[in-house]
Amino acid sequence: MRYLILSDLHSNGEALAAVLSRVRRRHYDRLVVLGDFVGYGADPNGVIDRVRHLRRRKILVRGNHDRVASGLDPGGLFNPVALAAARWTAETLTAANRQFLADLPVGPIEVEGRFVVCHGSPFDEDAYIFSDVDAAWSFRTIGLDLCFFGHSHIPSVFTLEPDGIGVDVVRGGRQRLKLETGRRYLINPGSVGQPRDRNIDAAFALYDGDEGFVEFERVPYDVARAREKILRAGLPGALGDRLLLGA
């Protein structure tokens, strides 16, 4: 079984289109989305519609932006830029897509006995996994040896080994990680719509559950068009100028 793993799409229709185009001829059986379909970007309905209409079995969890944009949470903990984007998103969503977000399951979810998926961390969808200490708490929470998470927007691998926890940021183009038996992994595929690792290309991963490897990949997309749409929508300029560009 092969899984396409996406996270933090953030209403970036151009980035999602580039990713789906890149994998069109690659085999995968399931689509996994680790939350934050919306927020920051200008194409929330386009992104949700593309995911909804993809003819694959889907395993989806909600992110913190999905929770706020769908009206389940007033967003009291959001910074002003995120809150402005969430409010704009809430007004822009169709009723069907708002309901889609509101109905998304909350992680963690176990998938087919193979791995766990969550947004921020297995113990709290709003918590970030940046360090070995964050990872240690997460490893204690999950019952399987593999967990995919998002939220930090940084492609990364935390490996529980006999002598401690390895912390690796995944850099560059396509990278293959062979999963070793006896080790445990927390893996972030990076963000489709708003990378935060100073690489503007959309990030995603493919997991082959039979062969036991994860492939990380980056794909360029039409950043200028996505930025233009953000500015035209009246979303905070910083989104187009800084966050979207990953600077």
Residue ranges that bind Fe ion, judged by CB under 5 A? 8, 36
Q: Are 15 and 202 in contact (CB under 8 A)?
A: yes
CB of 180 to Fe ion, least distance (A): 29
Q: Which is nearer to Fe ion, 8 or 43 (CB)?
A: 8
Q: How far is the CB of 214 from Fe ion (least distance, A)?
A: 20
d(CA 188, CA 85): 24
CB of residue 217 to Fe ion, shortest distance in Å: 19
Do 35 and 150 touch, CB atoms closer than 8 A? yes
Q: How far is the CB of 148 from Fe ion (least distance, A)?
A: 14
Of 43 and 165, which CB lies nearer to Fe ion in the complex structure? 43
Q: Closest approach of Cβ 10 to Fe ion, in Å?
A: 6
Rank residues 8 and 197 by Cβ distance to Fe ion and give the closer one. 8
Q: Which one, 36 or 134, has the nearer CB to Fe ion?
A: 36
Q: How many CA atoms lie within 13 A of 176 on its CB side?
A: 5
CB of 29 to Fe ion, least distance (A): 25
CA 15, 7, 27, 57 dihedral sign is negative
Q: Interior CA angle at 84 toward 79 and 87, to 5°?
A: 120
| CA distances in angstroms from 203 to 61, 67, 219, listed in the order given | 18, 23, 7
Residue with the shortest CB distance to Fe ion = 36
- Measure the CA–CA gap between 118 and 61, rounded to whole angstroms: 6
Residues 164, 177: Cα–Cα separation, whole Å:
19
Distance CA 118, CA 108 (A): 5
Smaller CB separation from Fe ion, 90 or 144: 90
